[in-house]
Structure 1
Amino acid sequence: MAGREGNGVGVRKVEEFEELRGLLFSIAYRILGSVGEAEDAVQETWLRFASSTTQPTSTKAYLSATVTRIAIDVLRSARVRREEYVGPWLPEPLLDDPYQDPARSVELADSVSMASLLLLERLSPLERAVFVLREVFGFGFDEVAQAVGRSESACRQLLVRARRHMRAGRPRFEAMREEREELAARFFDAFREGDVAGLQELFAADVSLVGDGGGKAPQLARAIMGAGNVARLLASVYPLLARVDVAFEPHEVNGEPGAIFRDRDGRVLHTLALDVLDGRIQAIRLVINPDKLGHLGPVADAWAVDREVRRARRG
Structure 2
Amino acid sequence: MNGTRTEEFQELRPLLFSIAYRILGSVSEAEDAVQETWLRYAATATEPRSAKAFLSATVTRLSIDVLRSARVRREAYVGPWFPEPLLADPYEDPARAAELADSVSTAALLLLERLSPLERAAFVLREVFDFGYDDVASAVGRSESACRQLVVRARRHMAAGRPRFEADRAEREKLAARFFDALREGDVPGLRDLLAADVSMAGDGGGKAPQLARTILGAVHVSRLLGSVFPRMARAAVTCEPREVNGEPGAVFRDQDGKVLHTMALEIHDGRVQTIRTVINPDKLAHLGPVADAWAVHERVRTTTS
CA shift for structure 1 position 157: 0.8
1 CA distance for matches of 2:163 and 2:94? Answer: 24
Cross-structure match for 2:62: 70
CA shift for structure 1 position 268: 0.3
Cross-structure match for 1:291: 283
CA shift for structure 1 position 41: 0.2
| Residue 123 of structure 2 corresponds to residue 131 of structure 1 | yes
Q: Could you report, residue by residue, the CA deviation over 1:56-99 in whole angstroms, capped at 9, with x for unpaired residues?
A: 00100000000000000000000000000000000000011111
1 CA distance for matches of 2:112 and 2:254? Answer: 30
Computing the radius of gyration from Cα coordinates, the structure with the larger value is: 1
Letter matched to residue 212 of structure 1: D
**Can you give the 5+ residue segments of structure 1 that lack an aligned partner in the other structure?**
1-8
| Residue 263 of structure 2 corresponds to residue 277 of structure 1 | no
Cross-structure match for 1:311: 303
Cross-structure match for 1:195: 187
Indicate conservation of the 8 Å contact 2:102/2:165, yes or no: no
2 CA distance for matches of 1:244 and 1:200? Answer: 24
Q: Percent identity?
A: 75
Letter matched to residue 221 of structure 1: A
| Residue 173 of structure 2 corresponds to residue 181 of structure 1 | yes
Partner residue of 1:259 out of 251, 266, 289: 251
Change (3 A) 1:172 1:91: closer
2 CA distance for matches of 1:289 and 1:124? Answer: 25
Indicate conservation of the 8 Å contact 1:172/1:278, yes or no: no
Indicate conservation of the 8 Å contact 2:118/2:140, yes or no: yes
Indicate conservation of the 8 Å contact 2:243/2:251, yes or no: yes
Partner residue of 1:242 out of 212, 234, 238: 234
Indicate conservation of the 8 Å contact 1:104/1:137, yes or no: no
Indicate conservation of the 8 Å contact 1:104/1:136, yes or no: no
| Residue 135 of structure 2 corresponds to residue 143 of structure 1 | yes
Deviates more, 1:168-177 or 1:250-259: 168-177
| Residue 84 of structure 2 corresponds to residue 92 of structure 1 | yes
Indicate conservation of the 8 Å contact 2:238/2:256, yes or no: yes
Partner residue of 1:210 out of 197, 202, 205: 202
Change (3 A) 1:171 1:187: closer
Give the TM-score taking structure 1 as reference length: 0.95
Q: Could you report, residue by residue, the CA deviation over 1:13-38 in whole angstroms, capped at 9, with x for unpaired residues?
A: 11111110000000000000000000
Q: Could you report, residue by residue, the CA deviation over 1:243-292 in whole angstroms, capped at 9, with x for unpaired residues?
A: 11001110111110000000000000000000111221110110000000
1 CA distance for matches of 2:162 and 2:40? Answer: 37
| Residue 2 of structure 2 corresponds to residue 43 of structure 1 | no
Q: Could you report, residue by residue, the CA deviation over 1:185-234 in whole angstroms, capped at 9, with x for unpaired residues?
A: 11011111111111111111111111000000000111111111000000
Letter matched to residue 179 of structure 1: E
Paired positions, count: 306
CA shift for structure 1 position 104: 2.4
1 CA distance for matches of 2:296 and 2:162? Answer: 38
Moved over 4 A (4+): none
Cross-structure match for 2:26: 34
Cross-structure match for 1:115: 107
Give the TM-score taking structure 2 as reference length: 0.98
| Residue 149 of structure 2 corresponds to residue 157 of structure 1 | yes
Change (3 A) 1:173 1:14: closer
Change (3 A) 1:52 1:250: same
Aligned with 1:175: secondary structure? coil
Change (3 A) 1:173 1:267: closer
Letter matched to residue 176 of structure 1: D
- Over aligned residues, Cα RMSD in angstroms? 1.1
Cross-structure match for 1:5: none
